[in-house]
C-alpha cells in the first residue's frame, strides 16, 4: 500500500486513476489545480507524487521545484502531453524522478509508481541482491543460482540487476529499455521479449521454480511467486 | 493612378519631404543672395550718387548757379546722366535743369547730401523709366542761394538684380515640380513591385498555397525579398503538407483499429457472458488500445523530428558506440528469427545530433531488416566514417525494394503489398527520413545485391 498524491486537472482521468490505484491497494489524494496540489504536497506525507505538467494556477514543474527547494525529496512522476525529448529532460531537471507521456497505459503508470516508491528497495550500495536461491554480487558481477555459477554477458547482467533491484514488482518493457539501454523510444519489434527469454533460459532453465515471470499486458516480474 | 494610396508609400513621402527641404534650402539661399547683392548694388548706387553730387557741388563752387545749370543740361544733352535723374530747382521751385518735371511732391526730401530712399511718383520722371511710383535712392542738397539739387538713382542696375532673382525663383519652382514628378514615378515603381507581393499574399490567404512571389530578374533588393519569401513559403507549404498528411493518415490508420475496439466491446455487451469471456474481450480491447497508442506515439515522434525543435538536447554522438548499443539490443531478436546481425565499425565517427532520435532511426532500420528478411539471411550494420561524412549503412540479403518503389516507401503509412502480412504501421522509414532531414543527412535506398541497402550519410561538421 502506497500513499499517493495525484495532481491532475482532467477530472475524468483523475477519477479513473484514483479508482484504479485504489483497487490496486493504494490510497490516493487528488488535487485538481496547482496551488491545491502544492499545499497538499507540502503538508501531507506521501510516498509518491504524480503531477501533470500543465495545470491551472501553477505548472507541475514549479511544484516539484518548490518541493525540492523545501528539502522534500518525495519521488515525483511527471505526466505530460508534450512528450518531446526536451520536455522529458526539463521534467527530470526540475527534480522529477520519472516522466510519462500521454497517452499512456495504466499498467505502465502503475509499474513506474511501484518502482519509484523507495520502500522495499534495496539500497543502491547493497552489494548482494537475492531472490530465492538466485544471488547477484554487484561488485564481482558474479551470478549464482543454487550455488551454481551462471555466466551472463555485461548487458544481460545489467538487465538482471535492474530486475533484481525491482524484485517483486512489475517492470514494463519501456522501463527496461530506458534503464538498461538508455533508449527512450518504442521499438516496433519484440526486442525486449527476446532479451528476456534469453535471460530466462540462463537463470530458470533446469530449475523447478521459475523466477522470471511474464505479467500479461504489463511486463515482467522477478519473484519467487508468480 | 490612386494619389492618396501613392502618398501613403514610404518612397513618395520621403521624396516629398526631400523636395520640401530642398525648396526651403534653395529659398533661403536665394533670399540671402538677394539680400547681399541688393545691398551691394545699393551701396554702389549710393556711392555713385554721392560722388556725382560732390562733383556738381564743386562745379557750383567754381562756376556758380549758371555753371551748374549748364553742366546739368550738358549731361542731359550728351546722355551722360547714366540712368540717373536730376532736378535743379530755383528757390521758387522752378526747374532750372534736369530730367524731372518737378521737385518730388509728397514726402519731403531731406537735404543733408546723404542718400535716402524717397517716394518718387512715376509721372514726375522723364520717359517713365520706372513702371510705377517707387521708393528710389535719392540724394539732395540746398545751395546758399536757396536753390536745390536732387539726384535719383536710375533703374537698370536694380532691374538686373530683380531679373536674376526672378530667374532663380523660376529654377526653384521647376526643380520642386521635377522632384514631385520623380517622387511619383519612384512611388509608382515601388508600389507596383509591392503590389505583386501583396497580391501573392492575398492569393495565399485565399487558400492557394502554391502561389509564389514573381522574381523580376533584376537581382535587386526586391528580388532578394521575393526569393526569401518564396523559400519561406516553400517551407510552410511543406510543413502544412506534412500536417495534412498526418491528419489524413491519423484518420485513415486509426479509424479501423478504433472501430475494431469499439465493436469488440459493444458485441461483448450484447448478451450476458461468463467472466472469462468478459476478461478475454477486455484484454483484447486493451491490446487494441495499446497498439493505437504505439501508432500515435510513432506519428508524434515523426512530427516532432520534422518540426526539428529539440536542438537543445543535441550533443556529440559517437555513432560507433550507438551502433554497438543497438546491435546489442537487436542481436537476440535477429538470432531468434534465425538471422545473423553483424556489426562493422572502423575509425571514430562522432557527429553532432540527438542520440535519442538517431537511435530511433537506426533502430527502425534494424527493425525493418529483421521483419522483412527471411530466416537464414544476414543483416549488416556498418559505420563508415570518412573526412566529410559519417555513413551508417544497414543492409540485408532479403527481397529488397524495387528501384521504382524506393521513393514511394518513404511516404508515411506506405507498406508494400508484399509486406501486408507482417505487423507494423508503415511509419518506420518516414521517421528515419525526418531524422535524416533534421541532421542534414542524406538518406539513400539502394540495392545490396541481393537485398536492401539503406544508407544514412551524416555531414561530420557544421550541422548548424
The enclosing domain of B417 has a CATH number of: 3.30.565.10
Q: Which of the listed residues B116, B141, B159 is the one where a domain comes to its end?
A: B159
Per-residue confidence (pLDDT) for residue A92, from 0 to 100: 83
Per-residue confidence (pLDDT) for residue B249, from 0 to 100: 67
- The rounded distance, in Å, linking the Cα atoms of B305 and B300 is 9
CATH number of the structural domain spanning residue B51: 3.30.450
pLDDT band at B376, cuts 50/70/90?
confident
Q: Cα angle vertex B341, ends B337, B345, to 5°?
A: 170
B60 touching chain A per CB within 8 A = no
- The rounded distance, in Å, linking the Cα atoms of A197 and B336 is 10
Q: Which residues of B touch A86 (CB under 8 A)?
A: 309-310, 312-313
pLDDT per residue as tens, chain A (226 positions): 899 999 999 999 899 999 999 999 999 999 999 999 999 999 999 999 999 988 888 888 999 999 999 998 899 999 987 656 667 778 888 888 998 888 888 889 999 999 998 765 666 667 889 999 999 998 888 999 999 999 999 999 999 999 999 999 999 999 999 999 989 887 777 899 999 999 999 999 989 999 999 998 889 999 998 7
pLDDT band at B132, cuts 50/70/90?
low
Same domain for B229 and B111 = no
Task: Give the lowest-confidence range in B2-6, B128-132, B206-210.
Answer: B128-132
Instruction: Give B369→chain A minimum CA distance, Å.
Output: 11
Per-residue confidence (pLDDT) for residue A163, from 0 to 100: 94
Q: Is residue B450 part of a domain?
A: yes
Statement: residue B379 has pLDDT above 90: yes
Backbone φ and ψ for B138, nearest 5 degrees, come out as -130, 140
Q: What is the mean pLDDT of residues B109-118?
A: 79
Per-residue confidence (pLDDT) for residue B419, from 0 to 100: 46
- The rounded distance, in Å, linking the Cα atoms of A151 and A153 is 7
N residues, chain B: 464
Is there a contact between A85 and B310 if contact means CB atoms under 8 Å apart? yes
pLDDT band at B417, cuts 50/70/90?
very low
Per-residue confidence (pLDDT) for residue A110, from 0 to 100: 92
Q: Can you read off the three cell numbers belonging to residue B216?
A: 523580376
Between B449 and A51, whose confidence is greater?
A: A51
pLDDT band at B464, cuts 50/70/90?
very low
Same domain for B111 and B220 = no
Q: How many CA atoms lie within 13 A of B126 on its CB side?
A: 13
Is there a contact between A190 and B333 if contact means CB atoms under 8 Å apart? yes
Closest Cα to residue A68, out of A29, A96, A105, A32?
A: A96
Q: Is residue B102 part of a domain?
A: yes
Q: What is the mean pLDDT of residues B300-324?
A: 78
Statement: residue B173 has pLDDT above 90: no
Q: What is the mean pLDDT of residues B317-333?
A: 93
Q: Which residues of B touch A190 (CB under 8 A)?
A: 333
- The rounded distance, in Å, linking the Cα atoms of B278 and B267 is 11
pLDDT in tens, B17-40: 877 888 888 888 888 888 888 888
Q: What is the DSSP string of B2-40?
A: -HHHHHHSHHHHHHHHHHHHHHHHHHHHHHHHHHHHHHH
Residues of A with CB under 8 A from a CB of B: 83-86, 89, 101, 103-105, 155, 177, 181-191, 194-195, 197-198, 216-217
Same domain for B241 and B107 = no
- The rounded distance, in Å, linking the Cα atoms of A181 and B175 is 81
Q: Which residues of A touch B333 (CB under 8 A)?
A: 189-191, 194-195
- The minimal CB distance from A191 to the residues B329, B356, B428 is found for B329
Residue at grid coordinates 521624396: B15
Instruction: Give B333→chain A minimum CA distance, Å.
Output: 5
Provide the number of structural domains found in chain B: 3
Backbone φ and ψ for B421, nearest 5 degrees, come out as -85, -10
DSSP annotation of B373: S
Is there a contact between A181 and B309 if contact means CB atoms under 8 Å apart? no
Q: Is residue B300 part of a domain?
A: no
- The rounded distance, in Å, linking the Cα atoms of A59 and A222 is 37
Statement: residue B372 has pLDDT above 80: yes
Q: Is residue B103 part of a domain?
A: yes
Same domain for B225 and B155 = no
> Nearest residue of B to residue A156 by CA position?
B328
Between strands A142-145 and A134-137, the pairing is antiparallel
- Other CB atoms within 10 A of residue B374 CB: 12
Q: Which percentage of chain B shows pLDDT scores above 90?
A: 13
Statement: residue B331 has pLDDT above 80: yes
Same domain for B125 and B46 = yes
Is there a contact between A86 and B424 if contact means CB atoms under 8 Å apart? no
Q: Which helix (H) or strand (E) holds A7?
A: strand A3-7
pLDDT in tens, B238-280: 878 877 776 776 677 677 778 888 888 888 888 899 999 999 8
- The rounded distance, in Å, linking the Cα atoms of A152 and A131 is 17
Per-residue confidence (pLDDT) for residue B308, from 0 to 100: 65
- The minimal CB distance from A183 to the residues B293, B297, B359 is found for B359
> Nearest residue of A to residue B357 by CA position?
A185
Q: Is residue B329 part of a domain?
A: yes
Is pTM, for the whole model, over 0.80?
Answer: no
Same domain for B340 and B231 = no
- The minimal CB distance from A186 to the residues B297, B313, B370 is found for B297
Same domain for B364 and B225 = no
Is there a contact between B294 and A186 if contact means CB atoms under 8 Å apart? yes
Q: Which residues contact B212 (CB under 8 A, 6 or more apart)?
A: B200, B230, B233
Q: What is the DSSP string of A92-105?
A: HHTT-SEEEESS--
Q: What is the mean pLDDT of residues B203-220?
A: 85
- The rounded distance, in Å, linking the Cα atoms of B229 and B218 is 16
Instruction: Give A185→chain B minimum CA distance, Å.
Output: 6
Same domain for B407 and B316 = yes
Residue at grid coordinates 502480412: B421
Q: Which residues of B touch A181 (CB under 8 A)?
A: 325, 328-329
Q: Is residue B115 part of a domain?
A: yes
Coil, strand or helix at B69: helix
B314 touching chain A per CB within 8 A = no
Same domain for B221 and B86 = no
Per-residue confidence (pLDDT) for residue B342, from 0 to 100: 93
Statement: residue B100 has pLDDT above 80: no
Is there a contact between B367 and A85 if contact means CB atoms under 8 Å apart? no
Residue at grid coordinates 515525483: A76
Between strands A48-52 and A3-7, the pairing is parallel
Q: Is residue B412 part of a domain?
A: yes
- The rounded distance, in Å, linking the Cα atoms of B279 and B259 is 19
Per-residue confidence (pLDDT) for residue B116, from 0 to 100: 80
Q: What is the DSSP string of B186-224?
A: HHHHHHHHHHHHHHHHHHHHTT-TT------SS-SHHHH
Per-residue confidence (pLDDT) for residue B420, from 0 to 100: 41
**CB contacts < 8 A (A, B):** 84
Q: Is residue B117 part of a domain?
A: yes
Same domain for B127 and B46 = yes
Q: What is the mean pLDDT of residues B220-247?
A: 84
Is there a contact between B294 and A105 if contact means CB atoms under 8 Å apart? no
Residue B375 is part of which domain span? 308-462
Same domain for B430 and B364 = yes
- The minimal CB distance from A194 to the residues B310, B325, B333 is found for B333
Is there a contact between B325 and A183 if contact means CB atoms under 8 Å apart? yes
Per-residue confidence (pLDDT) for residue A109, from 0 to 100: 93
Is there a contact between A84 and B371 if contact means CB atoms under 8 Å apart? no
Q: How many CA atoms lie within 13 A of A41 on its CB side?
A: 31
Backbone φ and ψ for B68, nearest 5 degrees, come out as -65, -45
Is the CB of residue A63 less than 8 Å from the CB of residue A77? no
Is there a contact between B310 and A194 if contact means CB atoms under 8 Å apart? no
Same domain for B152 and B8 = yes
Amino acid at each position: 500500500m502506497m500513499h499517493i498524491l495525484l495532481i491532475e486537472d482532467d477530472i475524468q482521468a483523475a477519477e479513473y486513476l484514483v479508482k484504479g490505484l485504489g483497487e490496486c491497494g493504494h490510497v490516493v489524494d487528488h488535487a485538481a489545480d496547482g496551488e491545491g496540489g502544492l499545499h497538499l504536497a507540502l503538508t501531507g506525507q506521501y510516498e509518491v507524487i504524480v503531477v501533470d505538467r500543465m495545470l491551472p494556477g501553477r505548472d507541475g514543474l514549479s511544484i516539484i521545484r518548490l518541493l525540492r527547494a523545501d528539502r522534500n525529496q518525495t519521488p515525483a512522476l511527471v505526466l505530460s502531453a508534450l512528450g518531446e525529448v526536451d520536455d522529458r529532460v526539463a521534467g527530470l531537471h526540475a527534480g522529477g524522478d520519472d516522466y510519462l507521456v500521454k497517452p499512456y497505459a495504466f499498467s505502465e503508470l502503475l509499474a513506474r509508481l511501484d518502482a519509484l516508491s523507495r520502500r522495499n528497495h534495496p539500497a543502491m550500495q547493497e552489494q548482494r541482491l537475492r531472490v530465492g536461491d538466485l544471488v547477484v554480487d554487484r561488485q564481482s558481477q558474479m551470478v549464482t543460482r543454487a550455488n551454481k555459477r551462471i555466466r551472463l554477458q555485461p548487458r544481460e547482467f545489467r538487465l538482471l540487476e535492474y530486475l533484481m533491484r525491482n524484485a517483486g514488482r512489475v517492470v514494463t518493457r519501456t522501463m527496461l529499455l530506458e534503464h538498461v539501454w538508455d533508449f527512450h523510444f518504442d521499438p516496433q519489434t519484440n526486442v525486449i521479449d527476446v532479451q528476456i527469454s534469453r535471460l530466462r533460459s540462463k537463470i530458470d532453465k533446469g530449475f523447478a521454480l521459475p523466477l522470471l515471470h511474464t505479467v500479461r499486458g504489463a511486463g515482467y516480474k522477478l519473484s519467487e511467486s508468480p | 493612378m490612386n494619389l492618396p494610396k501613392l502618398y501613403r508609400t514610404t518612397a513618395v513621402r520621403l521624396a516629398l519631404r526631400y523636395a520640401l527641404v530642398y525648396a526651403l534650402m534653395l529659398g533661403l539661399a536665394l533670399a540671402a543672395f538677394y539680400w547681399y547683392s541688393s545691398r551691394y548694388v545699393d551701396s554702389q548706387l549710393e556711392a555713385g550718387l554721392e560722388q556725382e553730387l560732390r562733383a556738381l557741388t564743386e562745379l557750383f563752387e567754381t562756376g556758380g548757379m549758371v555753371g551748374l545749370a549748364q553742366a546739368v543740361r550738358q549731361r542731359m544733352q550728351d546722355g551722360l546722366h547714366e540712368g540717373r535723374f536730376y532736378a535743379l530747382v530755383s528757390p521758387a521751385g522752378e526747374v532750372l535743369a534736369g530730367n524731372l518735371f518737378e521737385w518730388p511732391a509728397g514726402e519731403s526730401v531731406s537735404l543733408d547730401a546723404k542718400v535716402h530712399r524717397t517716394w518718387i511718383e512715376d509721372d514726375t520722371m522723364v520717359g517713365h523709366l520706372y513702371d510705377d511710383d517707387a521708393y528710389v535712392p535719392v540724394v539732395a542738397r540746398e545751395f546758399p542761394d536757396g536753390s536745390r539739387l536732387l539726384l535719383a538713382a536710375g533703374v537698370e542696375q536694380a532691374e538686373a538684380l530683380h531679373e536674376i532673382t526672378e530667374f532663380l525663383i523660376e529654377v526653384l519652382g521647376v526643380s520642386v515640380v521635377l522632384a514631385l514628378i520623380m517622387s511619383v514615378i519612384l512611388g509608382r515603381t515601388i508600389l507596383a513591385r509591392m503590389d505583386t507581393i501583396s497580391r501573392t499574399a492575398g492569393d495565399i490567404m485565399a487558400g492557394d498555397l502554391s502561389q509564389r512571389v514573381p522574381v523580376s530578374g533584376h537581382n535587386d533588393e526586391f528580388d532578394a525579398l521575393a526569393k526569401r519569401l518564396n523559400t519561406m513559403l516553400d517551407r510552410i507549404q511543406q510543413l502544412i503538407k506534412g500536417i495534412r498528411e498526418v491528419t489524413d493518415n491519423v484518420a485513415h490508420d486509426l479509424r479501423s483499429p478504433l472501430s475494431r475496439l469499439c465493436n469488440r466491446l459493444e458485441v461483448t455487451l450484447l448478451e450476458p457472458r461468463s467472466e472469462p469471456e468478459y476478461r478475454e474481450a477486455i484484454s483484447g480491447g486493451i491490446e487494441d488500445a495499446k497498439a493505437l497508442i504505439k501508432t500515435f506515439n510513432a506519428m508524434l515522434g515523426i512530427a516532432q523530428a520534422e518540426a526539428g525543435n529539440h536542438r537543445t538536447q543535441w550533443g556529440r554522438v559517437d555513432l560507433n558506440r550507438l551502433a554497438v548499443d543497438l546491435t546489442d539490443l537487436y542481436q537476440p531478436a535477429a538470432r531468434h528469427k534465425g538471422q545473423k546481425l553483424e556489426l562493422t565499425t572502423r575509425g571514430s565517427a562522432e557527429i553532432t545530433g540527438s542520440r535519442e532520435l538517431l537511435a530511433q532511426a537506426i533502430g527502425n532500420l534494424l527493425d525493418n531488416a529483421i521483419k522483412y528478411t527471411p530466416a537464414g539471411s544476414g543483416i549488416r550494420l556498418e559505420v563508415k566514417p570518412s573526412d566529410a561524412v559519417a555513413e551508417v549503412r544497414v543492409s540485408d540479403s532479403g527481397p529488397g525494394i524495387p528501384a521504382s518503389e524506393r521513393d514511394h516507401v518513404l511516404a508515411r503509412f506506405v507498406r508494400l503489398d508484399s509486406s501486408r502480412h507482417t505487423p507494423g504501421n508503415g511509419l518506420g522509414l518516414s521517421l528515419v527520413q525526418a531524422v535524416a532531414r533534421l541532421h542534414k543527412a542524406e538518406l539513400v535506398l539502394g540495392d545490396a545485391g541481393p537485398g536492401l541497402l539503406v544508407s544514412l550519410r551524416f555531414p561530420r561538421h557544421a550541422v548548424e
